[in-house]
Structure 1
Amino acid sequence: MATRVLSSPNLLKKLRSFIRPLNSAASSAAAAVSPLNFDEKSEYSTVEKHHPPPPTTTPLDFDDYQKLFASVSTLKLLRSSVNLGLASNDTFVDFGTWVMNSRLIETPLVRDIILKTVKHTFFEHFCAGETAAEAAKCLRKIQEAGLRGMLAYAVEHTTDNAGCDRNFDGFLQSIEFARSLPPSSVSSVVAKITAICPLGLLRRISDLLRWQYKDPSFSLPWKLYTLPIFTDSSALYHTLQKPDPLTPQEESDLQLAHQRLLKLCQKCVQYNVPLIIDAEDTSIQPAIDYFTYSSAIMYNKDDPIIYGTIQAYLKDTRERLFNAVKTAQSLEIPMGFKLVRGAYMSSETKLASSLGFDSPIHNGIRDTHACFNDCASFMLEKVADGYGGLVLATHNLESGQLAAWKARDVGIEKGNKKLEFAQLYGMSEALSFGLRNAGFQVSKYLPYGPVDMVMPYLLRRAEENRGLLSTSSLDRSLMGKELKRRLKSLQFGKPAAAGGMKIEVGTP
């Protein structure tokens, strides 16, 4: 087997700047210098263009709420306002989370009532449906609104090979499903390594990879070529003692898991459908990066097909992203990344504290925002130079505005297929439509599957994104204004397709 490909962990110490940061009116004084402020100028700086002063206007227009929500029905606006209001209520979220984690859910009658209630509220708002047919219907609706879909068959952690095989079949069907739809409607298919490789094995692989980073002489005979996974500031405290080698059974299971992923990659290459690998917590993320990068080395040829996910709330994110991209470029491998903020803040901090280590998460939300914007700027410059691919998955209004300006600044043309903005289905509608109206490609993350199977996803949205959901006030405010406008101009619409009359309020 091949050995690892690693760039020097001290590489960044030679650099004066990591990237040119995104323009921001709030940080214009610092816009000319790097947030990392190294001693020497980077020999790897990406785009040497004149940096204009921070813009005083934005390419995204949120003032014309009639135009923003022109493609959204009045009923959809009403339901969205109600659901977002409930989701931003801490008391309601706490109660719902308690019910779902309590023994009440084990009572058949109570479980049935709860699942039906969830299905007709949060599930319908945040998910694309229970079946592929329902997801296709949802896709058609968002395509009519000028958006695209990221298909996510919503299976989570698995503990055995039988479950992995079932999940693999589901992911494979998702890729086949994407192929059957209009090419412009699906931007990518999403998969979770935790669903096709037993969770315990992912922990073992992560431990072994961490130990090899600490001790490069530590041999991993099963290891394939990969990109850099760690830096000296990465969360290595998960592995405090030298782990035992994989057993023959574990090596066999690893091979099976890798074969599942490679088959998914082969189908995506065959159908030219990008495959995005979702991220998880730091205890198992090294193994996920290993699977992602080793597969990308095999299948990313002219354009990125396999995308990894980078979480900006981790302190080592900038350096890990830089190292991975630099090494991939040296190997002439076009890497694609989905950039997110992250969704395991509470659990990561608690675990690190219990082991006596500092949290791997940035100390404040401002640091996380700065990291996201820095990484976005770095990758936007790469895309402008014709390298790699980028999915900017953000619900943060300022990050969306800054990235839109950065894309224009570095000359990324409208419709560039290597740049996609993305938001979760049912969230940040104003940002999605604003980016769409500005000419960018915008996707919605569309989880689908039976309600009980999608519950972990919904609980994570509630528990891990309280702050995010509470910032939905912009959406609710703009939706409220548009609803008032439509009520003032109440009118009858055209007959519905089924033959009955429907009332549309204020259709433009």
Structure 2
Amino acid sequence: MTGSPFRPQLLCRLKSGARTSTTAVLSENLLADTLPHAAAAVTSAPNNHGVNFTDTKELFSSVSSAKMLRSLIMLCLASSAPVADIGIWVMKSKLMDIPLCRKAVFGVTERTFYRQFCAGEDLASASATARELWDTGRTAMLDYGLEHANDNESCDVNMEEFLRTIRSTKSGVESPISFGVVKITAICPVRILKRVSDLLRWQHKDKSLNLPWKLKSLPLLADSSPLYHTATRPAALTAAEERDLDAAYARMAKICRNSIDASLPILIDAEDTAIQPAIDYLAYAAAVEFSSGEEEPLIYNTIQGYLKDAKDRMVMAKKAADEMRVGLGIKLVRGAYMNSENRLAESLGVESPIHDNIHNTHRCYNECADFMLHQIARGSGSGSLVLATHNMESGKMAAAKAVDLGIDKDSNRLHFAQLYGMAEALSFGLRNSGFRVSKYLPYGPVDQIIPYLLRRAEENRGLLSASSFDRSLMRNELIRRVKSPPVHGKAMQMPTSEV
């Protein structure tokens, strides 16, 4: 396919990579071929990255005062715990059963938080927002806001929505869309993901367990992975369940083929540990089947750094991918299910799979970033990384490490990403330094996407409250603009239509 980074190939079965006793050995072996001068960890990287967060005039040069003021107000409101609590309570209350009240709530939400964090109701609106990002030197990760599916009919409908999104990006010119986002929970019934995860966990405990439906994949679980979800040997999948699983993989395969045709890599969203093994399985099985041996992978699976087994699973997957000559794409995030994961572990009387404190989470995230950056520095075909973070220190350290390792800032194999409407200072700082930066761009009808955003808000209560630095920089820039003398005798324009 001319101009495409992906090449379709005949479907094949590849032998899985051999396992070693510890992931520490794998990590050492994989890092042995990296650059000699790049042995230091991300956490010890010097601040010679050139990412400037002090010059707010340069940082926000492409943002109008009106838009910045609106963003500042919305972030302040969203970061308020009482505001978040009231919003969640209203959305779940019986008030939403009253048509007039429901209409009023949706109307207010659409003009405030929806406008701040979402790209619009349809593909046309999302594409327009993506073009605006493109004009400011950033790209978009298109994410159609779908909730979990419970039946095959819903899965088929959701697949078509993903396909519409992917096909809309197919163009003969350079596209403002960097990635498409796919939720496995939208194309495979959650009950099937739970059943498959149970069987995969039990097979990790008992290697003699035969799973006849299992395709070639990368390693899914480490010895440090949480296995307590499956206390007893699960029953084999029924014939109907196997058909449902086959149908889910067929949807995934169709999405992959369309993504190849559109030259658009796809990001796979992560979920909680109860169903994550099955999500990893479907993602990695597709990665193996549709690998072209090219430098840029088609599929980027998500690793959540707040999980204690994050680096172990990443190292194992990378080792196997190298042996199978499969390009490995990783999207690295901190994680979004801390409350529910901790509650479940506590209810079962077992150790939480989440790191005990935020410092350990930061350390794990930075170590995972360091590991993948070293892999990228090894050269062709050695991995690709999307660093999804709102944390200023992680962003600065990763940028410094990439420079230290000699990774081209404009490399297709390294992207930074933040949610749309958030962490603008980090996005602009990295962009100004020459790195590729994308914004995670959810879109969809207001009544459909609000439940999706509500679920995210409940699991990410600390995310918005951590935006104080971003808000401070915006506030400083607005004050600077007010105090600055007018340009060519014209006063600073703040049209109310944008606020």
Q: TM-score, normalised by structure 1?
A: 0.90
User: Following the alignment from structure 1 to structure 2, what is the Cα–Cα distance between the partners of residues 183 and 278?
Assistant: 25
Alignment deviations for residues 133-177 of structure 1 (CA, whole Å, 9 cap, x no partner) = 110110111111110000011102010011101100100000011
* Aligned residue identity for 1:214: K
User: Following the alignment from structure 2 to structure 1, what is the Cα–Cα distance between the partners of residues 124 and 372?
Assistant: 35
Tell me what 2:352 maps to: 359
Tell me what 1:11 maps to: 22
Tell me what 2:377 maps to: 384
1:457-476, aligned counterparts within 5 Å?
Answer: 457-476=452-471
Answer yes or no: is 1:484 the counterpart of 2:464.
Answer: no
Give the number of the structure with larger relative contact order, counting CA–CA contacts within 8 Å between residues 6 or more apart.
2
Tell me what 2:197 maps to: 206
User: Following the alignment from structure 1 to structure 2, what is the Cα–Cα distance between the partners of residues 43 and 392?
Assistant: 20
User: For 2:37, what is the secondary structure of its paired residue?
Assistant: coil
User: Following the alignment from structure 1 to structure 2, what is the Cα–Cα distance between the partners of residues 257 and 194?
Assistant: 10
Q: Pick from 383, 404, 410: which aligns with 1:409?
A: 404
- Comparing 472-481 with 159-168, greater Cα deviation is found at 472-481
Alignment deviations for residues 210-248 of structure 1 (CA, whole Å, 9 cap, x no partner) = 111111111111110011000111111101111111111
Tell me what 1:220 maps to: 211
User: For 1:421, what is the secondary structure of its paired residue?
Assistant: strand
1:35-46, aligned counterparts within 5 Å?
Answer: 42=29, 44-46=31-33
User: Following the alignment from structure 1 to structure 2, what is the Cα–Cα distance between the partners of residues 130 and 186?
Assistant: 17
Alignment deviations for residues 382-434 of structure 1 (CA, whole Å, 9 cap, x no partner) = 11222121100000000000000000011111210111000000010000000
User: Following the alignment from structure 1 to structure 2, what is the Cα–Cα distance between the partners of residues 233 and 139?
Assistant: 40
1:270-285, aligned counterparts within 5 Å?
Answer: 270-285=261-276
What is the CA-CA distance between 1:95 and the residue it aligns to?
0.8
User: Following the alignment from structure 1 to structure 2, what is the Cα–Cα distance between the partners of residues 211 and 67?
Assistant: 54
* Aligned residue identity for 1:378: F
Tell me what 2:6 maps to: none
Tell me what 1:37 maps to: none
User: Following the alignment from structure 2 to structure 1, what is the Cα–Cα distance between the partners of residues 419 and 168?
Assistant: 20
- Comparing 456-465 with 354-363, greater Cα deviation is found at 456-465
Tell me what 2:493 maps to: 503
What is the CA-CA distance between 1:77 and the residue it aligns to?
0.4
User: Following the alignment from structure 1 to structure 2, what is the Cα–Cα distance between the partners of residues 258 and 137?
Assistant: 32
Answer yes or no: is 1:449 the counterpart of 2:444.
Answer: yes
User: Following the alignment from structure 1 to structure 2, what is the Cα–Cα distance between the partners of residues 7 and 425?
Assistant: 41
User: Following the alignment from structure 2 to structure 1, what is the Cα–Cα distance between the partners of residues 208 and 405?
Assistant: 43
What is the CA-CA distance between 1:313 and the residue it aligns to?
0.4
User: Following the alignment from structure 2 to structure 1, what is the Cα–Cα distance between the partners of residues 172 and 114?
Assistant: 23
- Comparing 295-304 with 174-183, greater Cα deviation is found at 174-183
Tell me what 2:8 maps to: none
Question: Compared with structure 1, are the counterparts of its residues 43 and 431 closer, same or farther at alpha carbon in structure 2 (3 Å cutoff)?
Answer: closer
CA contact (8 A) 2:17 2:323 kept: no
Question: Compared with structure 1, are the counterparts of its residues 43 and 377 closer, same or farther at alpha carbon in structure 2 (3 Å cutoff)?
Answer: closer
Question: Compared with structure 1, are the counterparts of its residues 13 and 424 closer, same or farther at alpha carbon in structure 2 (3 Å cutoff)?
Answer: closer
- Comparing 477-486 with 80-89, greater Cα deviation is found at 477-486
User: For 1:308, what is the secondary structure of its paired residue?
Assistant: strand
CA contact (8 A) 2:53 2:429 kept: yes
Tell me what 2:37 maps to: 50
User: Following the alignment from structure 1 to structure 2, what is the Cα–Cα distance between the partners of residues 13 and 121?
Assistant: 48
* Aligned residue identity for 2:416: F
CA contact (8 A) 2:120 2:126 kept: yes
1:121-136, aligned counterparts within 5 Å?
Answer: 121-136=112-127
CA contact (8 A) 1:154 1:454 kept: yes
What is the CA-CA distance between 1:4 and the residue it aligns to?
8.2
What is the CA-CA distance between 1:264 and the residue it aligns to?
0.4
1:342-357, aligned counterparts within 5 Å?
Answer: 342-357=335-350
- Comparing 463-472 with 78-87, greater Cα deviation is found at 463-472
Question: Compared with structure 1, are the counterparts of its residues 200 and 258 closer, same or farther at alpha carbon in structure 2 (3 Å cutoff)?
Answer: same
Question: Compared with structure 1, are the counterparts of its residues 13 and 55 closer, same or farther at alpha carbon in structure 2 (3 Å cutoff)?
Answer: closer
What is the CA-CA distance between 1:42 and the residue it aligns to?
4.4
CA contact (8 A) 2:145 2:444 kept: yes
1:79-90, aligned counterparts within 5 Å?
Answer: 79-90=70-81
* Aligned residue identity for 2:22: L
User: For 2:434, what is the secondary structure of its paired residue?
Assistant: coil
What is the CA-CA distance between 1:44 and the residue it aligns to?
4.5
What is the CA-CA distance between 1:184 and the residue it aligns to?
3.8
Paired positions, count: 476
What is the CA-CA distance between 1:502 and the residue it aligns to?
10
* Aligned residue identity for 1:84: L
- Comparing 137-146 with 462-471, greater Cα deviation is found at 462-471
User: Following the alignment from structure 1 to structure 2, what is the Cα–Cα distance between the partners of residues 436 and 428?
Assistant: 12
For structure 2, list consecutive stretches of 5 or more residues without a partner in the other structure.
1-11
* Aligned residue identity for 1:177: S
What is the CA-CA distance between 1:255 and the residue it aligns to?
1.0
1:71-86, aligned counterparts within 5 Å?
Answer: 71-86=62-77
- Comparing 64-73 with 336-345, greater Cα deviation is found at 64-73
* Aligned residue identity for 2:350: F
What is the CA-CA distance between 1:467 and the residue it aligns to?
2.1
User: Following the alignment from structure 2 to structure 1, what is the Cα–Cα distance between the partners of residues 95 and 211?
Assistant: 46
Alignment deviations for residues 425-451 of structure 1 (CA, whole Å, 9 cap, x no partner) = 001000000000000000000001011
- Comparing 178-187 with 409-418, greater Cα deviation is found at 178-187
Alignment deviations for residues 370-393 of structure 1 (CA, whole Å, 9 cap, x no partner) = 111001011111112221211000
For structure 1, list consecutive stretches of 5 or more residues without a partner in the other structure.
19-40, 496-500
Question: Compared with structure 1, are the counterparts of its residues 382 and 56 closer, same or farther at alpha carbon in structure 2 (3 Å cutoff)?
Answer: closer
CA contact (8 A) 1:491 1:504 kept: no
1:229-248, aligned counterparts within 5 Å?
Answer: 229-248=220-239
User: For 1:183, what is the secondary structure of its paired residue?
Assistant: coil
User: For 2:398, what is the secondary structure of its paired residue?
Assistant: helix
Tell me what 1:34 maps to: none
User: Following the alignment from structure 2 to structure 1, what is the Cα–Cα distance between the partners of residues 30 and 108?
Assistant: 57
User: For 1:413, what is the secondary structure of its paired residue?
Assistant: coil
* Aligned residue identity for 1:5: S
Question: Compared with structure 1, are the counterparts of its residues 181 and 161 closer, same or farther at alpha carbon in structure 2 (3 Å cutoff)?
Answer: farther
CA contact (8 A) 1:306 1:336 kept: yes
What is the CA-CA distance between 1:48 and the residue it aligns to?
3.7
CA contact (8 A) 1:5 1:226 kept: yes
CA contact (8 A) 2:140 2:177 kept: yes
What is the CA-CA distance between 1:43 and the residue it aligns to?
6.5
User: Following the alignment from structure 2 to structure 1, what is the Cα–Cα distance between the partners of residues 119 and 214?
Assistant: 38
User: For 1:337, what is the secondary structure of its paired residue?
Assistant: strand
User: Following the alignment from structure 1 to structure 2, what is the Cα–Cα distance between the partners of residues 468 and 199?
Assistant: 26
Query: RMSD across aligned C-alpha pairs, in angstroms?
Result: 2.2
